[in-house]
Structure 1
Amino acid sequence: MGLAAPPGAAQAGGQAARDRPGATPSTPSNPSASPTSPTSPTSSISPISPTPQSIQARPDHATITRSVTVVAGPKADAAALALVEKSLKDAGADRVVRGERAPGGGQLAVYVDGAGAARALEGLGARGSGGLPAEGYALGVGAGRIALSGKDATGTYYAAQTLRQLLPHRDRPGARVSGTAVRDWPATPLRGVIEGFYGTPWSHAARLDQLDFYAEHKMNIYVYSPKDDAYLREKWRDPYPADRLAQIKELVDRARARHVEFTYALSPGLSVCYSSDADLKALTAKFQTLWDVGVRTFAVPLDDISYTDWNCAADKDKFGTGGGAAGAAQAHLLNRVNREFIAGHPGAEPLQMVPTEYYDVRPSPYKKALATQLDKNVLVEWTGVGVIAPTMTVAQAERAREVFGHPILTWDNYPVNDYVTSRLLLGPFNGREPGLPGRLAGITANPMIQPAASKIALYTVADYAWNDRAYDARASWGAAIEELAGGDARTVRALRAFADTGYSSSLNPRQAPELAAAIAQFGEDGDASRLDAVLRTLQESPGVLRDRLADRGFIEDSEPWLDATHAWGEAARTALRLLEAINAGDDARAWQLRERLPELVRTAKSFVYVDMAGKRVPVLVADGVVDAFVEDAIGAHDASLGVIGRPKASTDLAVYQDNAVSRMTDGDDGTYFWSAAAPKAGSSVGLDLHVERPLGTVTLAMGKSGSPDDYLRHGVLEYSSDRKTWTRLAAFDGTAEVTAEPPAGAKARYVRARAVRAQENWLVVREFTVAGADAVTVAGGPPAAEGSALRSAADGDPATAYRAARAAGPGETLEFRAEAPREARSVVVLRPRGAPAGAAKVEVRGGGGWRTIGALSGAYTRLAVGGGAVEGVRLAWRGGAVAPVVNEVIVR
């Protein structure tokens, strides 16, 4: 189930997977030891992923000899044997041979299954695979031997995957492998991935690469269900072209060789007639073509469809109307598929289905129909309580099993990003209760549109699904980064910094936690060198990854986010130097750095992800952290200048995609904040004016073209000095454009618009502004260019600028006059870098006349007034060939 949904519409996701009906918690009856971590501060055992249920260090070791003999049992898995032999050669063995018995003479022997492995494990004092559940295994290393024994062929293959991780990578023999005893089994029968998102489907090469990744991490299921494969949905009745079917066969063959079950998920719900014999025949005929290329597991997802509108009159006549009728119709079709196709194909795995109501545990007529009428050996998929469930508990899973009346396979919508294509979701699998896997038939994760970039999160999914009791989200996340970076320290640092910028999701509410912690530490101790080192790593991480990361797919997937990370790193380091200049009292240097920031931020915001429809989506990295740091540095500079600066916007509403709350105050009526949910009574958007100050006109412009009804239908404007006590300014109803005049003398630091009733429509705010009651009047010339204004030269925001339409003529002046005289020590004039010196005389008016205090000296001019009240400031232009630009004139 993909998650892309238009604003105001019910969201849905995508699904499919497989399991053995009636699965019970995967705990052996007599485990040899309680679960332990594979490593400890004093252990020499290499980290293993997923974390084994039981792993113990032994005091002895085995040595990789020049020649190694593999003694295989008669039914040893071929794929496991091939992996063992390759791993031994990668560990430094020159020659790996098969034999019926150990060679002696100090040569290393590796026993794979059979009586030899059982005796070798017994000789090491380790238990064999007896008593373990399916896919369990035992592995022992020590006393000059290695032994692997699987409960079944897949268990042996997983033992080989663990051995691969224990062995070193060496180009010559002689490596010593620490003595180790492992007894391991999965926490849940099915563990894997469902390619079930909307958007660009993965490439064939990416799918093959993913199957290799799943095998390495003991995932045993891949569900083929891309929402934008027309042959799965819109054209479900049509056969695949020969070349497409050949690709699916290659995937099936690769999956089987990797002990991964390939599941084919057909989604007929957009047009199927449930009671039609012809449609049943079309569905089973499609399944037959997939059976013929090796598929043995099938699913029928019925998500993201209407179940109140029938596709044929015959269904209404046969089943009636309503949710219960829809459940009965779906059960009727699925039971026929189950009995007439699945049951008729020996070797087929149990049928899977995705219900139309897949995201809660509330009883309903639809769920009751499935629970009572659908064949009990059909597996039901479920996303948790919510399309994207922030948490998932044992109690919820047990309730789902009860309400659906069938074994439950979770379709976990993480790290899928089709609903937030502006983001890479690079944080760990989180919020799932220990003990949950044992209550499920299995766990499948819906990944991102970007396959290689999904590997960080999928690594952690595999860790949790295999051994939830030992799972630590942060530790698993770090191990995923370590593996993807190939253990290279510099690459690890770069990848960790980059992954931190995409940490946030519904499962991980904190964005960029490591960067945020470094910024918070700087706020406490002021150690700029420490923070600069963190920001330098961030800025340089894209270059390091492009140079050193072996997985080139990850680079290709991440290109615009890598570019944005570099740009935000540069902007943040510039902001840090701005803060240092402010603290040092170097005003000219501070303005030079401040003036660079808008362009750096524009560049950082300019990078886009282009989706399959050609839409250009601005990408987000470390949003709310790195951009907030830059904004705060600019705010500190405003404070040092004595100006108010641009208000800071906030809201308690979720943000839809990249329509950030800061767009309410960017001065551009063409951009907007857009909520991701309808306002409730008490929901608000607000402004922080940074300091308490007199209030001028308050304006709130809501709604937009295409969404004219997305505004607060019933609300109030309020203001406050402490954000605790609020005074009502105005009430409004049924209007998207609100203007209010505060009473004379009103002062506040905070202004907000608050909903007084709940509503169904979402909220768009184009601009939210508060004029200053003590605004400076600007007059004179030259006239402002189109898109500019004279007032921008004294609006309290140095980021805006007055740009003249032409060069100044001799004698022209630009005059600034406040409503009342103010005491002043100096006048500061801010202009862009490269502004010419001597372009104008700076004059002040006090005591009834004008007097010259100096001339403009460049981008930053500060001139002493000499004390006393200043009634106005004037720039007397000397003429020239360049149209003047003034960012701000400040009386201090």
Structure 2
Amino acid sequence: MHRTRTAAATAMAVALAVVPLTGMAGPPGGGKAGRDGPRDSPGVAGSRALSPTPRSVRSRSDRVTITRSVTVVAGPDTDAPALAVVEKSLKDAGADRVVRAESDPGDGQLAVYVGGAGASRALRALGARGPDGLPAEGYALAVGGGRIALSGKDATGTYYAAQSLRQLLPHRDRPGARVRGTAVRDWPATPLRGVIEGFYGTPWSHEARLDQLDFYGEHKMNIYVYSPKDDPYLRAKWRDPYPADRLAQLKELVDRAHARHVEFTYALSPGLSVCYSSDADLRALTAKFQTLWDIGVRTFAVPLDDISYTEWNCAADKDAFGTGGGAAGAAQAHLLNRVQQEFIARHPGAAPLQMVPTEYYDVKPSPYKKALAARLDADVLVEWTGVGVIAPTMTVAQAGQARQVFGHRILTWDNYPVNDYVTNRLLLGPFNGREKGLPGQLAGITANPMIQPAASKLALYTVADYAWNDTAYDARASWGAAIAELAGGDARTARALRAFADAHYASSLNPRQAPALSATIAQFGKDGDARRLDGALRNLRDAPGVLRDRLTDRGFVKDSGPWLDATRAWAVAARGALQLIEATRAGDDAEAWQLRQRIPELVRTAASFVYVDMSGKRVPVLVADGVLDTFVEAAVAEHDAALGVVGRPKGSSNLAVYQDHAASRMTDGDDATYFWSGAAPRAGSFVELDLHAERALGAVRLAMGKSGSPDDYLRHGVLEYSSDHRNWHPLASFDGKAEVGAEPPAGTRARYVRARATAAQDHWLVVREFAVAGDGAATVAGGPPAAAGSALRSAGDGDPATAYRAARAAQPGEALEFTPDAPRGARSVTVLRPQGAPAGAAEVEVRTGGAWRTLGTLSGALTRLPAGDGAIGGVRLVWRDGAAAPEVSEVILH
């Protein structure tokens, strides 16, 4: 869904904020939730976290023991999948033998009552209420008094009770474990809770879908909507029957879903070519549904998103319905009503039809919504994404408005953690920004996941938590519990996974990137203690290797491959930057320069990893962007300041960034690279340069647009400058030009220069280069001549990251001469050269009072010589005869 171009329990589990078993709200009709008892005694398997968080949990003072043989007493109609979960959980807890019987044999062995009258009696004997009075899918579970009893309001409720028991029981390889007594009474906050595979891009594999269905069942999610945009038989070829092998795969998914109490929903999207008034198209649609009905599908949807509703696919629709949004709503209602009445209503056991309106992303009244609300069958569920395609927040009031404007029950299609619009990112933060009380206003919640199925589990865990019990939901706590579960209770794996997920935390729902790492960096900025930050960076560096070695979910490792590589590389680069800061502050100039020279290659390596999409496009991936890259830039800027140079201007923007086209690309001196916004500028949008210090301004150049996107430039704007970032002064206005230049009045000084949009526009923004002359850089002349791809000026441009490289060895009498923009006093002359540069390659001379005098000889990569008295009007490197092809990174007067 896009309107424009297309985020054994261990001590560590506790540290990761796993939700404890504490009392929650009471059940319908009264009842009081209890509190946990004392901490576990030695040898007692205690209160492990239950997910989703139950409504009511009460710890008992007694316990049960997992005996060698366990008897399972089941009612005649007890849900078979629930029994399977119970029996496997008992064996995983140490039981050697699990037998079924119609009653407790009373031989001293543990008895587990699952469903039926036996479970009801056992619950009463344990002082626990049964599931009577609970909503659909509610359940009751009690452990204590030498027995376990569980029963649901219905078969799904019993299955969920079994899943909760699975979480309560320990993992042991022998009998004898003692389990603390516990009573649970639980029910969902909203009827439908699950996932819609509705993204663009590489569809999930069949194996991944099977794995996902297992995950949904374990987390009490009861709906999976099959709607991959790139299944041709759902969209472009919607009229065509599935080939036998594809239909067989769908049947396997349907069967697995039923076994996990997940409703498999088949979503057919005919809107690209359907003729709404056509009897033939109706027959094609219902015939397609019939083939899915025949393999067990009982829930169907017709999404009509991401299509045009201003142009008809057939002339008959214009004749039948007219034109405009109201006509489109009437036409869609006509087709959907016929599907509801002629297919759904004629198939006993079919769930109400679901649909996605073409206007799915707001609550504004419109002719389209009015027609749909008035004409669409009352039983049809309407799917809605919230206010926005990707809604940062969603409130009870908004849900009420949606219900009113669409006139139907609302099922949310929540576009999180979907990443098909930001394929360079993993979105691993929690479900956030959804108001408590929202699920109760909805028919259900479905989340659109990432292209990466296994990596989606962290966020989907939290979606399940919220949808089941929003009252108790805490996003960070649920996220911590998801990490603990995926880590399998292993402390080292959990620590690594938490660090990795923190570096991929940000999204529209979680606007702060890498919150834990950001806080550690901020603390370093306050106290200068590098040990804590170095520890965090080492943990981040090592995390990818730990996850590859120890994470049992190999799908997560496969999904995250390029991001794992990039995370390690960015952590290495950030550690190098931290070492640079320490050497700079310690005054170890040689060590700092050696470290500084490594940074560009470390950053290039970190930025080199790519995700290859289904079309073969190579998309550079992002890791903790705005955090790690900013820290590295700040370290380099601090070193520049210590050297006495301003360095390259820092680019920034208040516009979103498209993929990896960061603002730094508009200051890199390469016209082939560019900043590219991820949205159209509004009035007030800007791109900006920070020159690091107030200085004289020379000519300003702004080069926008690019080949393939020539219209992506600011149509109406103004160039401005400021010294304090608060008071801005106009420099020049511009309209309708992709190439903008301005000459500031003589004597103009500023630290900041920006280009600000004065009007909104539809096109995005590309900035190839944004540059300001007059930065105090020296004029460089002499020789030897520069090699291809290099320039003499790089030796005096104020940026140590650029270097002059000679095309050949020095000849007798050759010298490289640097002339500053004005004579200046300086304590020293510093010459920076690449690591390994030979000593004695040149004499260093300065011109004062019109005469040249020798300061000394180049000594190595960093040469710093006292300048003596007098204003320096020039610096000269007089090469010795036969010196190898010289290289100079920067000559600095400071």
Residue identity in the other structure for 1:253: D
Residue identity in the other structure for 2:404: E
Determine the structure 1 residue equivalent to 2:446. 444
Give the secondary-structure state (helix, strand or coil) at the position aligned to 2:264.
strand
The equivalent position to 1:181 in structure 2, one of 176, 180, 183, is 183
Spell out the pairing of 1:388-787 with structure 2 (5 A cutoff).
Answer: 388-772=390-774, 774-787=776-789
CA contact (8 A) 1:3 1:198 kept: no
Distance 2:498 2:211 in 1: 22
Determine the structure 1 residue equivalent to 2:32. 33
Distance 2:662 2:821 in 1: 35
| 5+ residue gaps, structure 1 | 7-25
Distance 1:561 1:690 in 2: 32
Distance 1:355 1:715 in 2: 38
Change (3 A) 1:674 1:31: farther
Residue 674 of structure 1: how far off its partner (Å): 1.5
Distance 2:30 2:202 in 1: 45
Give the secondary-structure state (helix, strand or coil) at the position aligned to 2:823.
strand
Spell out the pairing of 1:136-535 with structure 2 (5 A cutoff).
Answer: 136-535=138-537
CA contact (8 A) 1:383 1:411 kept: yes
CA contact (8 A) 1:678 1:761 kept: yes
Deviations 1:319-378 (A, max 9, x none): 110111111111111111111111111111111111001011111111111111111111
CA contact (8 A) 1:827 1:862 kept: yes
Residue 175 of structure 1: how far off its partner (Å): 0.5
Distance 1:40 1:651 in 2: 54
CA contact (8 A) 1:38 1:47 kept: no
Distance 1:342 1:298 in 2: 8
CA contact (8 A) 2:690 2:752 kept: yes
Determine the structure 1 residue equivalent to 2:73. 71
Give the secondary-structure state (helix, strand or coil) at the position aligned to 2:569.
helix
Give the secondary-structure state (helix, strand or coil) at the position aligned to 1:823.
coil
CA contact (8 A) 2:27 2:186 kept: no
Change (3 A) 1:83 1:773: closer
Distance 2:172 2:721 in 1: 69
Residue 4 of structure 1: how far off its partner (Å): 6.9
Deviations 1:756-781 (A, max 9, x none): 22222221111111112533111001
Change (3 A) 1:428 1:839: same
Identity %: 79
Distance 2:483 2:869 in 1: 61
The equivalent position to 1:885 in structure 2, one of 878, 884, 887, is 887
TM-score norm. by structure 1 comes to 0.96
Determine the structure 2 residue equivalent to 1:94. 96
Residue identity in the other structure for 1:51: T
Change (3 A) 1:758 1:157: same
Deviations 1:277-306 (A, max 9, x none): 111111111111111111111111000000
CA contact (8 A) 1:150 1:156 kept: yes
Give the secondary-structure state (helix, strand or coil) at the position aligned to 1:438.
helix
Determine the structure 2 residue equivalent to 1:9. none
The equivalent position to 1:80 in structure 2, one of 79, 82, 107, is 82
Query: Do residues 850 (structure 1) and 849 (structure 2) align?
Result: no
| 5+ residue gaps, structure 2 | 7-24
Query: Do residues 119 (structure 1) and 118 (structure 2) align?
Result: no
Give the secondary-structure state (helix, strand or coil) at the position aligned to 1:863.
strand
Give the secondary-structure state (helix, strand or coil) at the position aligned to 1:173.
coil
CA contact (8 A) 2:54 2:186 kept: yes
Distance 1:803 1:414 in 2: 50
CA contact (8 A) 2:217 2:262 kept: yes
Change (3 A) 1:432 1:41: farther
Give the secondary-structure state (helix, strand or coil) at the position aligned to 2:707.
coil
Change (3 A) 1:3 1:142: farther
Residue 746 of structure 1: how far off its partner (Å): 1.2
Distance 1:563 1:236 in 2: 40
CA contact (8 A) 2:37 2:60 kept: no
Deviations 1:387-407 (A, max 9, x none): 000000001111111111111
Distance 2:798 2:721 in 1: 20
Distance 1:734 1:226 in 2: 41
CA contact (8 A) 1:39 1:45 kept: no
Deviations 1:114-165 (A, max 9, x none): 2221121112111110100000000000111110010000000000000000
Which stretch has the larger CA shift, 647-656 or 364-373?
A: 647-656
Distance 1:488 1:883 in 2: 56
CA contact (8 A) 1:3 1:418 kept: no
Distance 1:880 1:491 in 2: 58
CA contact (8 A) 1:92 1:174 kept: yes
Deviations 1:154-188 (A, max 9, x none): 00000000000000000001101111000000000
Residue identity in the other structure for 1:401: R
TM-score norm. by structure 2 comes to 0.96
CA contact (8 A) 1:27 1:133 kept: no
Distance 2:821 2:279 in 1: 84
Residue 38 of structure 1: how far off its partner (Å): 7.8
Residue 42 of structure 1: how far off its partner (Å): 8.4
CA contact (8 A) 2:225 2:265 kept: yes
Give the secondary-structure state (helix, strand or coil) at the position aligned to 1:370.
helix
Change (3 A) 1:720 1:75: same
Residue identity in the other structure for 1:33: K
Distance 1:493 1:810 in 2: 62
Distance 2:283 2:222 in 1: 30
Change (3 A) 1:337 1:673: same
Determine the structure 1 residue equivalent to 2:14. none
Distance 1:354 1:458 in 2: 21
CA contact (8 A) 1:2 1:418 kept: no
Residue 99 of structure 1: how far off its partner (Å): 1.3
The equivalent position to 1:135 in structure 2, one of 123, 134, 137, is 137
What is the RMSD computed on CA atoms of the aligned residues? Answer: 1.5
Distance 2:463 2:40 in 1: 27
Which stretch has the larger CA shift, 845-854 or 632-641?
A: 845-854
CA contact (8 A) 1:32 1:183 kept: no
Determine the structure 2 residue equivalent to 1:5. 5
Which stretch has the larger CA shift, 122-131 or 222-231?
A: 122-131
Change (3 A) 1:155 1:40: farther
CA contact (8 A) 1:422 1:618 kept: yes
CA contact (8 A) 1:2 1:227 kept: no
CA contact (8 A) 1:721 1:749 kept: yes
Distance 2:396 2:666 in 1: 42
CA contact (8 A) 2:27 2:55 kept: no
Change (3 A) 1:826 1:444: same
Give the secondary-structure state (helix, strand or coil) at the position aligned to 1:821.
coil
CA contact (8 A) 1:3 1:419 kept: no
Query: Do residues 870 (structure 1) and 876 (structure 2) align?
Result: no
Deviations 1:510-563 (A, max 9, x none): 000011000001011111111100000001110010000000000100000000
Change (3 A) 1:80 1:703: same
Give the secondary-structure state (helix, strand or coil) at the position aligned to 1:772.
coil
Which stretch has the larger CA shift, 817-826 or 575-584?
A: 817-826
Residue 600 of structure 1: how far off its partner (Å): 0.3
